[in-house]
A and B are shown apart, each in its own frame.
Chain A
């Protein structure tokens, strides 16, 4: 590290003496570095388009037809379109966050990440931010196509609040992905199967395709565990303000819940990562179970 920051070091001990500023800068750069292939992938892996636009859109359409056939209130159509768009983020979290360390380990990236001078949380954050940028384009596509095709009308009185709630939802959602990334590696296939198993129930419990209130008492459980459910419930209240929709809770408390979830998931992700590294160094392997 001959003098990238200040005078060139004359020996290794000097070179290892980093200021706090340099540590922070390196971690920020690592976030960008890891987000980079994700964003590049946007233009290089068209097959992802299929999974992240077409599949959610199909699911949305199916519900739209059911609601139309049942002559459900027209807001339900808007709910479904919004829910469908948010599904893209959930898919992104399951397949490209939670399962990611798996691939990274096989390719030998994980070892290089551990030996690089940044925290692995920065790698996870980069993965999350890159994924978020990439998936946002998909989600917007689903909303655009769905809204035009099914004639959804929005009534947004507080656009900044809506955008803020969206971002606040993303923190615990991707925080959950960051946590799962370590857990999946620790528990191997079992965790992987569990996630696949959970995918459908989460659509249901997350209230992706219908208002969460409709499932009654279970809604309380959802509130306490699933960022996507809470976020969607708040976003629907804000996106269809005039239609008199009621959420499980008013937007204010839901925002507080999202903040609390964000803290819990990020802290847990950090702890899980520490345990992962400890286990890797002590046992010479990255998994609790043999695979």
Chain B
């Protein structure tokens, strides 16, 4: 028998009853993920990522469409699916605070039916792998956010799942803890071949580092799907410039610049500012249909009362793809433009 797809979704929609109007969280998702593949869902808040994970983990029924995990239907074959999956969410507070790390993992190992000796062996192994050895006898409620998330991650691997769902697993973690967790995920991939990962994240680095393929989702739809390389190539035709300005442009601001002819998108990119920059300074990332549009951008900036203090051409990143498709950067709330593509 050929191996079934790890995840298979066709026309999956989900509408929540809500006041005043029903919310369409998923508007027809088609998705195929091969066994052994690490797949990422990238999308802004409210895009429907968690909703899709809940449907695939049998916690939620699709309003229409079909979905299968490991070849089993999410509506009717829940028992089979539950034998081969696990899920971990960012900020998860599962278990009981009065248990120690080791006890809590053991308790969960019993929910997955691990025989006693095998269970303890697995618990100790995972404690070591995730670097919780020093905390193994510590009460769960005294763990720091990062330690807590390592524990959750260890829990997710207890049953050696064939399909693992990680919903923003590094939410709230510092740089080092997030990197640790990504490394654990990658070493699990090497150690347990044939296992599939479905990851949601807001971090481009994470998606790029962990995932073989990525889908960019917004408002319940998949806007683009491919390997990180393929997605980047979509914007290769454009030129991307990074502008550093002494202050935020006035009248119309960034939106005004984005609306200029020849400009594909314009968003703030302050997080890449050099240290010690004066606090008023802002950075913009501007994607242009071709280089000649740069003149009008520079003029427009000056007209809006800002001075150019730095200019560089940059290589397209996954974030540029995201911005182009979703029409806004992460954290931008003014996302009412239509996607460019």
Binding site for B on A (CB under 8 A): 1-2, 4, 10-13, 15-18, 22, 25-27, 29-30, 32-34, 36-37, 40-41, 44-45, 107-109, 111-118, 123, 280-284
Contacts and interface: CB of A to CB of B under 8 A. Distances in A.
Interface of A, secondary structure class, is helix
A25 B110 CA distance: 10
B211 interface: no
A4 B83 contact: no
Contacts of A117: 79, 82-83, 111-113, 159
23 contacts: A2-B192, A11-B3, A12-B4, A12-B196, A13-B3, A13-B71, A16-B80, A16-B81, A26-B113, A32-B110, A33-B110, A36-B107, A41-B98, A108-B89, A108-B93, A114-B59, A115-B58, A115-B59, A115-B87, A117-B82, A117-B83, A117-B112, A281-B58
Nearest to A36: B107
B73 to A, nearest CB: 12
B94 A11 contact: no
Contacts of A107: 93-95
Contacts of B110: 29-30, 32-34, 36
Contacts of B113: 4, 22, 25-27, 29-30, 117-118
B232 to A, nearest CB: 31
Contacts of A15: 70, 83-84, 162
Contacts of B94: 107-109, 112
B95 A18 contact: no
Contacts of B60: 280-281, 284
Given A32-B110, A37-B99, A107-B93, A13 B160 contact: no
A283 B16 CA distance: 7
Given A16-B80, A115-B85, A116-B82, A29 B114 contact: yes
B57 A37 contact: no
Nearest to A278: B61
Contacts of B54: 284
Interface string B73-104: 00000011111111101001111101100010
A257 to B, nearest CB: 35
Given A1-B83, A4-B118, A107-B93, A12 B111 contact: no
**Chain B, interface residues (CB within 8 Å), range:** 35 or more
The 3 tightest CB contacts between A and B, nearest first, are A33-B110, A26-B113, A12-B70
A32 B60 CA distance: 28
B6 interface: yes
A282 B84 CA distance: 23
A33 B3 contact: no
A2 B84 CA distance: 11
A238 to B, nearest CB: 36
B176 to A, nearest CB: 25
Nearest to B6: A12
Contacts of A33: 106-111
Contacts of A30: 110-111, 113
A36 B60 CA distance: 29
B163 interface: yes
Given A29-B113, A108-B89, A280-B59, A45 B98 contact: yes
B305 interface: no
A3 to B, nearest CB: 10
Given A4-B118, A13-B4, A115-B57, A26 B72 contact: no
A85 B109 CA distance: 35
B83 A16 contact: yes
